[in-house]
Amino acid sequence: MKKVAILTAGGDCPGLNTVIRAITRTAIKQYGLEVMGILDGYRGLVEDRTVNLTLRSVEDILDRGGTILGSSNKDNPFAFLEKKDSEPVDMSQQCIAQLRAHGVDCLFTIGGDGTLTSARDFSRMGFPVIGIPKTIDNDLNATDQTFGFNTAVTTATEAMDKLRTTAEAHHRIAVVEIMGRYAGWLTLESGIAGGASVILIPEIPYDFDKVCEAVKKNTKNGKNYTIVAVSEGSKPIGGEVVIRKLVTNSPDAVRLGGIANKLAEELEERLGIEARATVLGHIQRGGQTSPFDRVLSTKYGVEAVELAMRGQFGRMVAMIDGKISSSTLEDAVGKLKTVPVDHELIKVARMIGVSFGD
């Protein structure tokens, strides 16, 4: 093996640069490999836009959010849209031909379910690929932990810490909308850490009357404010999620958003208590990478290179039972890891009086 390539795709999150740094430093320092970066995700792969990665180019990116390689969450090389209104074209063979022309012996793909699905498909075509699991939602199958999650939990928790003081001062309900379309891990952990009285997640449809009861109970017990942490993908029993808009040229066209505003309006109308909605949005994706995620991302980057050197392609680095390991890309994609309704954290939250609206 002489040369490897790195690609980051999908939504950005803290820790991407740390993985890029770890792969590059390990590849160069330990094995004398050449490292190539692919710009702007799978679009850059199709368009053959690359950059040489050196020890100097990754020197100061350990704690930096985002990705120095850029990303795209709309492009699929197996159904590529050159322009917004064009017909999808399979560009996978061209991508492989270009990688081989560059002399690339292994492609490291860093991303979530969509990114790693394309990685799996490249692997099925016989090209050496290794995946690294990234998502702030922590919903990727075949790993206990994705990098970026811990930083996002910290960001959401800090937001609730700030909202608590203003909600208490004005005796308000603070409804905080947190990312999580299908999985409520981020809302669950940050809700517990941020002292939310109500936590609403996609896995447990809520009864609005029960949410109101939780707020009334706070008032009865002398607590003059309430924090409601709600996943963007939460929905009432028998109801639907709140859709903000549709993006027709995206592999996943639905963009959620607005559940916090809807809940705040309904709570204020029903209870006569002032309610304010806060949508954290992309704040959860940005900022400095937490120490935990820096360490985890470094471990993942190092193990990815080790897998490549052992010729174990078609796999994704993973944390399993607290240890760095790997899973097949086949096992990693196609099924999201959602919160079991009997999960220990849900039991813990219920024990301290948190309502899930059920």
Question: Which tokens sit at 186?
Answer: 């981020």
316: part of which helix (H) or strand (E)?
Answer: strand 315-320
Write the CA distances from 301 to 130, 213, 273, integer angstroms. 10, 47, 49
Q: DSSP code of 105?
A: S
Find out whether 319 and 298 touch, Cβ atoms under 8 Å: no
CB atoms near residue 113 (< 10 Å): 21
Position of tokens 């993942």? Answer: 300
Write the CA distances from 31 to 6, 34, 106, 312, 350, integer angstroms. 16, 9, 14, 16, 51
Q: DSSP E strands: which ranges in 117-235? A: 129-133, 173-178, 198-200, 226-231
Q: Say what the alpha-carbon torsion angle 35, 37, 42, 44 is, to the nearest 10 degrees.
A: -130
Pick the catalytic residue from 75, 113, 137, 139: 137
Q: Side by side, which strands form the sheet with 226-231? A: 198-200, 226-231, 173-178, 275-279
SS3 category, 292: helix
CB atoms near residue 86 (< 10 Å): 10
Residue 209 falls in the annotated catalytic set = no
Q: DSSP code of 288?
A: P
Residue 24 to residue 5: CA distance in whole angstroms:
9
- Active-site annotation, residues: 137
